[in-house]
């Protein structure tokens, strides 16, 4: 059974850092690009970042460029999102998802290109 499980969310002060993890199982992980998305209350889901199947290509939403870094460890079936210099507007539920392809088909990632989703992890940036 295909499964994606996010972790690492929490409460952090503005300017702080968090690292999110997405652990996958039930499919050939290194065949697929993986993306991170987020959804704040009352807002549309937003594509944050994507990494290709072997990690050679990445992309980011303009709102997080220079602050967030996506990476993956295919030996551990895990994708990470390192988030630095966090801002209150980064507050959202963060989801990881598996792309239908080995490459990142949208820049930034588009929800319609992703077929399998995790349950999400809450990130709150506040004093």
Q: Write down how long the chain is.
A: 127
The owner of tokens 């295919």 is 74
Per residue of the chain (127 residues), what is the pLDDT tens digit?
889 999 999 999 999 999 999 999 998 999 999 999 999 999 999 999 999 999 999 999 999 999 999 999 999 999 999 999 999 999 999 999 999 899 998 889 999 999 889 999 999 999 9
Backbone angles phi, psi at 40, to 5 degrees: -95, 155
98 and 116 in contact (C-beta within 8 Å)?
yes
- The Cα 61–Cα 63 span in angstroms is 5
Burial label for 47, CB within 10 Å (0-12, 13-18, 19+), is buried
């Amino acid at each position: 059974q295909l499964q994606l499980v996010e972790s690492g969310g929490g409460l952090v002060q503005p300017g702080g850092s968090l690292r999110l993890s997405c652990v996958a199982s039930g499919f050939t992980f290194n065949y697929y690009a993986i993306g991170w998305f987020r959804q704040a209350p009352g807002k549309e889901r937003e594509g944050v970042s994507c990494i290709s199947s072997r990690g050679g290509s990445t992309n980011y939403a303009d709102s997080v460029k220079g602050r967030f870094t996506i990476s993956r460890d295919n030996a551990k079936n895990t994708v990470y999102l390192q988030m630095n210099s966090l801002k209150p507007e980064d507050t959202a539920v963060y989801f990881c998802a598996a792309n239908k392809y080995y490459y990142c088909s949208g820049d930034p990632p588009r929800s319609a290109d992703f077929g399998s989703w995790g349950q999400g992890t809450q990130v709150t940036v506040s004093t």
